[in-house]
Amino acid sequence: MSNYSIYLEEFTEQHDFSDYLKLVNDKNNTYAIEGIDEKRITKKELIKFINEYDGILYGIFNEKKRHIGNLSFSKIDDRKKICNTGILLSQSYQGCGYAFQAMVLGLGNIFDNFNIDTVQLFVLESNLSAIRLYEKLGFQLQGVAHNQFFKNGQYKDSLEYRIEKRNFKYYP
Ligand SMILES: CC(C)(COP(=O)(O)OP(=O)(O)OC[C@H]1O[C@@H](n2cnc3c(N)ncnc32)[C@H](O)[C@@H]1OP(=O)(O)O)[C@@H](O)C(=O)NCCC(=O)NCCS
């Protein structure tokens, strides 16, 4: 863990929200995130989202304890041993390997400490930096999910990727 310049912490109401509000209201950076539309998100709405989150919502923090992004695991299905993941990193911290580190920590934890064998995600075909990240981590393309993505009244196709516990090679 000491080789990592970031750490994950479950995000709660007690955390400082200033960076989180900037993060979700940077609409250029969230174009590929479902559930965040054109409307400005308020602190009250964010607190409600955090408190009602059905899954694990990690904040990604850097060595200066700055909140630089989020990594989530949701739709946790104990019977099928599968869950979904999503990541959002502040634009100022992209391209530094932090997203990769965060996903290594998050996937390692989910495979070690939860009854999960498969992690699934959906990504827009146009989101090349996200696709590069997922493929570097060992996620494998399953196929095109027609009209899987819905935002601002429009449907788009997504790519479905999965990684299995037995193929995950970056245990922290
Ligand atoms: C998607 C997103 C998280 C990617 O973040 P990022 O900062 O580009 O990612 P990183 O720099 O950590 O990771 C990608 C790189 O990790 C690198 N990497 C870092 N450490 C590595 C290691 N130890 N081993 C192998 N590869 C590593 C790879 O080189 C890789 O790709 P590249 O050099 O070919 O570009 C970011 O662009 C983002 O938040 N976008 C907006 C929200 C979004 O679209 N989320 C995804 C929705 S599906």
Q: Which atom of ligand 1 is nearest to the CA of 94?
A: 7
pLDDT tens, position by position, 24-53: 999 999 999 998 988 999 999 999 999 999
Best residue among 87, 127, 141, 163 to mutate for probing ligand 1, ranked by most atoms within 8 Å of CB:
87
Asked if residue 1 has pLDDT above 60, the reply is no
> The whole model's pTM is what?
0.94
* Å from CA of 13 to ligand 1 middle: 28
pLDDT (0 to 100) of residue 2: 47
For residue 6, how far is its CA from the centre of ligand 1 (angstroms)? 14
Under a CB-based contact definition with an 8 Å cutoff, are residues 115 and 14 in contact?
no
Distance from the alpha carbon of residue 50 to the mean position of ligand 1, in angstroms: 24
Pick 73 or 17 by higher pLDDT. Answer: 73
CB of 84 closer than 8 Å to CB of 68: no
Could you tell me what percent of the chain has a pLDDT over 90? Answer: 93
Side by side, which strands form the sheet with 154-164?
6-10, 55-62, 67-77, 82-89, 118-124, 154-164, 140-151
Query: What is the four-CA torsion angle of 55, 123, 18, 76, rounded to 10 degrees?
Result: 0
pLDDT tens readout for residues 52-90 = 999 999 999 999 999 999 999 999 999 999 999 999 999
Domains of the chain: 6-167 (3.40.630.30)
